[in-house]
Structure formats: structure tokens, C-alpha cells
Amino acid sequence: VRPYQPPGLWEQVAVGGAYSSQTYVQSRGPDLYRRGVYTYWKRSLPHPALVAFDAPTRELCTVTRPRTNTPLQALVLLNDPTFVEAARALAQRTLRDGGADDTARLTYAFRLCTGRRPTSAELRVLTRVLHGQLRHYRAHPGAARALVAVGEFPRPAGVDVGVLAAWTAVGNLLLNLDETITRG
């Protein structure tokens, strides 16, 4: 499958013409959400998100994948549409299934990401961030619409865009927690 990928990457290294895999045609629908193992492997230029996370090049046997922690990985997890969209999907699920109030919802979303309940100190931080984001996106409806428009995953009808955007931003934060990225 071929998930979101910035345009022009293959073309920059391609020889063009009749060879296969010279232009990237992105997948649609469920194929956007397969595990990375199903991502199309172009040997001369693997998907950049996989490369950023130490995907072995498959040129040598790799017994242990190095464990790294780099700024480029941060940029992928913060800004790659795949993960921005995942944050929105997390927000939508939280708003639907997470309970009635902010505390219940934050606890629900935090548990989905880390597998444990937030401590009271963590909950205080999350609540403050959420309220800040709600204020921000109520004041900036254009930004809210732009953020929730990222990705092809369906948006529920009748949801307050400002609320969804704020929860998407919080989802983006949760998906970038060290504890979410690396199970300790």
C-alpha cells in the first residue's frame, strides 16, 4: 500500500520513462491505514517515515534495529499527515466513546495511548492544554477547519469544528508522548 507521501520524492531520483514505480500514486480508503509492514518498498527510496525510524535497508541482515531518537522523527510524528489524521481519528473516537466530561475523555485518550491512567499531575497539564486549545480554535475557526481537513478519514457530521480541532491538537500531543512512542 502507498500511504501519504510528500509529492515529488520519487521523481527526484527516478530515471523516468517506461520503468515501473517512477511516480507515486497514493492509496485510498482502508489502504491508507495498514501497518507499516505493508507499505510499498521502493529500494532506491523507501518511504521517508520508515527511513526516519531506522527501517533496515534490507541490503544486509539486520539483527538489532538501532534505537534512535532524532529531530526528524519528531517532525514526522508531529507533521506527517498520516499522524495528524491519526490524531483527529483519536479525537473523534474520544468525543464519541470517551465519556461525558473532559476529565473522563482525557483519561480515555491518555489510556488509549499509554495503557495507563494519567496521574493527577498529568491530568492537570492535559486539562490546561485542552482548555487553551478550545479557546484558540474557537477564536480561529479558519485554523480549526484547516486542521480537521487533514487526511481522508471521514469526519462525523454535526461535530463542532472548534471542539474537534482542539481535541485533534491534544491527540497530536498524546501521540507524541515519549511513553506513547516507546513502551518502557
Partner 1 sequence: MHLPAPVRQALTRRAFLGRSASGLGSLALAALLDGEGRGATGGALPRLHFAPTAKRVIWLFMSGGPSHLDLFDPKPRLARLQGKELPESVRGNERFSANTLRQGKLLIAGSPFSFARHGRSGAELSELLPHTARVADDLAFVRGMQTDSINHDPAVTFLLTGALLPGRPTVGAWVSYGLGSLNRNFPEFIVLLSGSGGQPLRARFWGQGFLPSNHQGVPLRPAGDPVLYASNPPGISHANRRRLLDGLHELNRLHHDATGDPEVAARIGAYEMAFRMQASVPGLTDLSKEPDRVLAAYGAEPGKSSFANNCLLARRLAERDVRFVQLLHRDWDHHADLPGGLRAQCRLTDRPAAALVKDLKARGLLDETLVVWGGEFGRTPFAQGKLEPGRFGRDHHARAFTVWLAGGGVKPGLTLGKTDEFGFHVVEDPVHVHDLQATILRCLGIDHTKLTYRSQGRDFRLTDVGGKVVTKLLR
Question: Rule CB under 8 A: is residue 1 a binding residue for partner 1?
Answer: no
Residue 23 in contact with partner 1, rule: CB under 8 A: no
Pick the stretch among 2-10, 33-41, 90-98, 100-108 that binds partner 1 (CB under 8 A): 2-10
Q: Does 66 bind partner 1 (CB under 8 A)?
A: yes
Determine the Cα–Cα distance for residues 42 and 171; give it in Å rounded to an integer. Answer: 31
- Does 62 contact partner 1 by CB under 8 A? yes
Q: Cα–Cα distance between 112 and 180 in angstroms, integer?
A: 9
- Annotate 169-184 with DSSP letters as a single string: HHHHHHHTSHHHHS--
Phi and psi torsions of 78, nearest 5°: -85, -35
User: Does 146 help bind partner 1 (rule: CB under 8 A)?
Assistant: yes
Any contact of residue 16 with partner 1 (CB under 8 A)?
A: yes
In the chain, count of helices (H) and strands (E)?
Answer: 9, 0
**67 touches partner 1 by CB under 8 A:** yes
DSSP three-state, residue 1: coil
- Report in angstroms how near the CB of residue 16 gets to partner 1 at its nearest: 8
**What's 133-170 look like in SS3?**
HHHHHHHCHHHHHHHHCCCCCCCCCCCCHHHHHHHHHH
Told to check if 103 binds partner 1 by CB under 8 A, we report: no
Which stretches of the chain bind partner 1, using CB under 8 A? 6-8, 12-16, 43-46, 48, 51-54, 57, 59-63, 66-76, 78-81, 84, 119, 121-122, 125-126, 128-129, 132-133, 136, 143-150, 165, 169, 172-173, 176-179, 181-182, 184
